[in-house]
């Protein structure tokens, strides 16, 4: 098969939502359709139920939330589907924002009862800035919730999307009878607990067909006819080009936990979702159809397998063919590297691959060579754009709670910081270590993982800092003066760069005014 055919087969997308909207449950059902798993797991689980495939870290299984992006791949209708299931909680938004740089489209999950929530707005905003094509899946239709038209108003008002319903619910909660698949002109009847059969899919050329009344009752049939007529008058017809430009957003309704409405969305998705798209670098645009290989690291995860203490860098392939045991150029380090055991993922399950193509996500075993954003090529110097980094907003001193395990603690901190979910600062005045994160929940995750993956215990102490700013200068004398006056607020990050830790926005502004020759940066990537 040619590289063009391989690229045309691929669909790489992220699933995004507010916490608890059913994102990980939806991922499980998609995997089920692809035959990648035999039975779907539950996110909040008792001992009898399986855990969700994509929540593979112990802390995720205990808390019932996703704290790290997981990557899964399967085949469906001769298409290679790469799913990136992202954390919904805002405290883990950094991981999600970076993951969205590696996808070509997204599915947005909305809870029918709660409607559009704050974190959904943030994540959709990130996708819109990149013109990422998005499909909306309104979940939990088997529960009581908001009216369908009210939800469409929220999607258009709060998310600034252009809604295009491609399926429509027949009732909701206890009255929920199924959906009318507008895209395929099919009536799909609802059975609880995922017990759908082919008989539940009825082709209806016209909603005037009396079989509709027979299957759902005359009252619901009347409501459906009126609502679908209103949809055709108010909302635009589906236009694939507008969807591909991120200007039109198909909307589907269903119940992921009951495996209902998921297949209709998946069938439409594999047909309309874009194949791997071009990627922007500082030097030029990268076309996926180019012969020469290129890709970038968008995520690093330590201890994917705690038994082997392995560290995996996630590589999004952007062009050409990636081949095992081939020398490639690591741009930032200016050196050649060869990968003898690149892997493909099914959450935590890995298999060694010989080749991969644009759109694919490959895991590379990493002994500390990679940083998020690193480019790997066949020799060309490329620097991929748009991979965000963040200034921490929460800070705590980190202390060693077990002096016998200092070595393990230091190793654990260094490896976890490389994942990009938190940052380490060492105070110049005292040598004390400070962890900075975007969200408070990250501190719990770091503490848990240090103990359970590295055998090291830590405790935290509060520290009164508001913001971290990286500093640069052109005049050494001016920097020396700044350093001597502000030493109690100056630290070095993991790479030895100077950072100013401000107690408040007022004090930061005061320092900026007092030291006009020092430049303050929100991120470490300021060169």
Residues 268 and 292 reside in one and the same domain? no
Q: Residue 305: inside a domain, yes or no?
A: yes
For the ranges 45-59, 102-116, 179-193, the maximum mean pLDDT occurs at 102-116
Would you say residue 52 has pLDDT above 50? no
**pLDDT above 80 (res 51):** no
Closest CA to 56 of 453, 373, 411, 410: 453
The strand ranges marked E within 303-342 are: 311-319, 322-323, 327-330, 335-338
Residue 258 near residue 142 (C-beta atoms within 8 A):
yes
Q: In what order do the strands lie in the sheet with 178-181?
A: 167-170, 178-181, 186-189, 201-203
Dmax over Cα atoms in the chain, in whole Å? 86
Q: 424 Cβ partners below 8 Å, 6+ apart?
A: 413, 414, 417, 433, 434, 435, 436, 493, 494
pTM of the shown model: 0.77
Domain presence at residue 247? yes
One domain for residues 504 and 430: yes
φ/ψ region of 64 (left if φ > 0, alpha if ψ in -120 to 50, else beta) reads left
How far is the C-alpha of 166 from the C-alpha of 239, rounded, in Å? 11
Rounded Cα distance between 407 and 21, Å, is 41
- Please say which residue of 377, 403, 436 terminates a domain: 377
Q: Is position 383 within any domain?
A: no
Q: How many CB atoms lie within 10 A of CB 305?
A: 12
User: Quick one: pLDDT band at residue 193, thresholds 50, 70, 90?
Assistant: low
Please count the residues of the chain. Answer: 527
Give domain status of residue 111, yes or no.
yes
Same domain flag for 268 and 289: no
Residues 286 and 423 placed together within one structural domain of the fold: no
Specify the number of domains making up the chain: 3
Q: Is the pLDDT assigned to residue 80 strictly greater than 70?
A: yes
Q: Are residues 234 and 300 in the same domain?
A: no
Which of 78-87, 299-308, 340-349 has the highest mean predicted lDDT (pLDDT)?
78-87
Q: How far is 413 from 411, CA to CA, in rounded Å?
A: 6
We report the CATH number of the domain holding residue 285 as 3.40.50.300
- Yes or no: say if 140 and 189 are a contact pair by the CB < 8 Å rule: no
Q: Could you say which of 272, 294, 314 is where a domain stops?
A: 272
Do 266 and 299 lie in one domain? The reply is no
CA 99, chain centre distance (Å): 4
Mean local confidence (pLDDT), 362-366? 89
User: How does DSSP assign 127-184, residue by residue?
Assistant: HHHTT--EEEEEE-TTS----HHHHHHHHHHTS---EEESEEEES-GGG--EEEETTT
In a domain, 479, yes or no: yes
Say which CATH number the domain at 401 has: 3.30.70.3280
Same domain? 345 vs 432: no
| Lowest mean pLDDT segment, chosen from 230-244, 342-356, 501-515 | 342-356
Domain assignment present for residue 359? The answer is yes
- Whether residues 254 and 291 share a domain: the answer is no
In whole angstroms, what is the distance from residue 144 CA to residue 138 CA?
13
Q: State yes or no: pLDDT of 89 exceeds 60.
A: no
Q: Is the Cβ–Cβ distance between 334 and 365 less than 8 Å?
A: no
Task: Reply yes or no on whether the pLDDT at 245 is more than 90.
Answer: yes
**pLDDT tens, 60-77?**
445 444 444 567 888 898
Q: Are 273 and 104 in contact (CB under 8 A)?
A: yes
With tokens 């045309």, the residue in question is 8
For 316-343, write each residue's pLDDT tens digit: 999 999 999 999 999 999 999 999 999 8
Answer yes or no: is 306 within a domain: yes
Structure tokens at 435: 């962890």
| Lowest mean per-residue pLDDT among 81-90, 254-263, 513-522 | 81-90
Same domain, 226 and 291: no
- pLDDT for 494 equals 85
Domain range enclosing 135: 10-272
* Ranges 27-31, 156-160, 191-195: which has the least confidence: 191-195
Pair type for strands 134-139 and 249-253: parallel
Give the chain's count of helices (H) and strands (E): 14, 31
List pLDDT tens digits, range 475-497. Answer: 999 999 999 999 999 999 988 99
Do residues 357 and 339 share a domain? Answer: yes
State both tokens at 378: 């066949």
Mean pLDDT of 113-135: 88
Q: Does 227 score more than 50 pLDDT?
A: yes
Task: Give the contacts of 32 (CB within 8 A, at least 6 positions apart).
Answer: 39, 40, 259
Buried b / exposed e along 190-209 (16+ C-beta atoms within 10 A): beeeeebeeebbeeeeeeee
Q: Is the CB of residue 412 less than 8 Å from the CB of residue 451? A: no
Residues 146, 26 share a domain: yes
424 and 343 within one domain: no
What share of the chain in percent tops pLDDT 90?
52
Per-residue pLDDT at 57 exceeds 60: no
What does the pLDDT read at residue 303? 63
Residue 384 lies in a domain: no
Q: Which domain-ending residue is among 237, 272, 307? A: 272
**Tens digit of pLDDT for each residue in 267-315?**
999 999 999 999 999 999 999 999 999 999 988 877 655 565 577 888 9
What average pLDDT does the chain have? 85
């Amino acid at each position: 098969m040619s590289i063009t055919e391989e690229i045309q087969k691929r669909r790489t997308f992220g699933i995004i939502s507010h916490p608890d909207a059913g994102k990980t449950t939806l991922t499980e059902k998609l995997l089920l359709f692809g035959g990648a798993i035999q039975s779907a797991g539950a996110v909040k689980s008792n001992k009898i139920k399986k855990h969700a495939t994509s929540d593979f870290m112990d802390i995720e299984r205990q808390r019932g939330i996703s704290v790290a992006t997981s990557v899964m791949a399967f085949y469906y209708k001769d298409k290679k589907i790469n799913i990136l299931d992202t954390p919904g909680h805002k405290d883990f938004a950094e991981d999600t924002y970076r993951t969205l740089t590696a996808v070509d489209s997204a599915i947005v999950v909305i809870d029918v009862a709660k409607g559009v929530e704050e974190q959904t707005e943030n994540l959709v905003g990130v996708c819109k800035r990149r013109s990422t094509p998005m499909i909306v899946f309104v979940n939990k239709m088997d529960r009581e919730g908001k009216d369908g038209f009210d939800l469409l108003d929220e999607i258009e008002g709060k998310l600034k999307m252009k809604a295009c319903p491609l399926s429509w619910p027949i009732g909701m909660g206890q009255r929920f009878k199924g959906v009318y698949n507008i895209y395929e002109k099919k009536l799909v009847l609802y059975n609880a607990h995922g017990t759908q059969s082919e008989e539940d899919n009825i082709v209806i050329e016209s909603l005037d067909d009396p079989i509709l009344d027979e299957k759902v009752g005359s009252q619901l049939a009347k409501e459906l006819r009126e609502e679908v007529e209103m949809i055709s008058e108010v909302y635009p017809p589906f236009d694939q080009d507008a969807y591909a430009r991120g200007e039109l957003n198909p909307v589907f309704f269903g119940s992921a936990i009951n495996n209902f409405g998921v297949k209709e969305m998946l069938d439409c998705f594999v047909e309309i979702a874009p194949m791997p798209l071009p990627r922007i670098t500082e030097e030029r645009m990268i076309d996926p159809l180019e012969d020469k290989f290129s890709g970038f690291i968008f995520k690093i995860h330590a201890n994917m397998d705690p038994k082997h203490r392995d560290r995996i860098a996630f590589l999004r392939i952007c062009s050409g063919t990636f081949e095992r045991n081939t020398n490639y150029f690591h741009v930032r380090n200016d050196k050649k590297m060869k990968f003898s055991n690149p892997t493909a993922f099914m959450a935590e399950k890995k298999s060694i691959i010989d080749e991969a193509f644009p759109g694919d996500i490959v895991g590379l075993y990493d002994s500390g060579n990679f940083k998020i954003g690193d480019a790997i090529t066949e020799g060309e110097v490329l620097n991929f754009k748009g991979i965000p980094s963040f200034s921490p907003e929460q800070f705590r001193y980190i202390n060693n709670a077990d002096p016998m395990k200092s070595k393990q603690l230091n190793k654990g901190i260094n490896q976890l910081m490389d994942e990009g979910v938190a940052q380490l600062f060492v105070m110049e005045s005292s040598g004390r270590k400070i962890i900075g994160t975007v969200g408070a929940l990250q501190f719990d995750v770091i503490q848990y993982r240090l103990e359970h993956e590295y055998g090291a215990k830590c405790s935290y102490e509060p520290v009164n800092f508001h913001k971290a700013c990286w500093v640069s200068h052109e005049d050494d004398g001016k920097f020396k003066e700044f350093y001597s006056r502000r030493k109690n607020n100056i630290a070095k990050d993991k790479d030895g760069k100077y950072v100013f830790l401000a107690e408040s926005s007022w004090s930061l502004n005061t320092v900026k005014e007092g030291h006009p020759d020092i430049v303050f940066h929100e991120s470490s990537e300021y060169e």
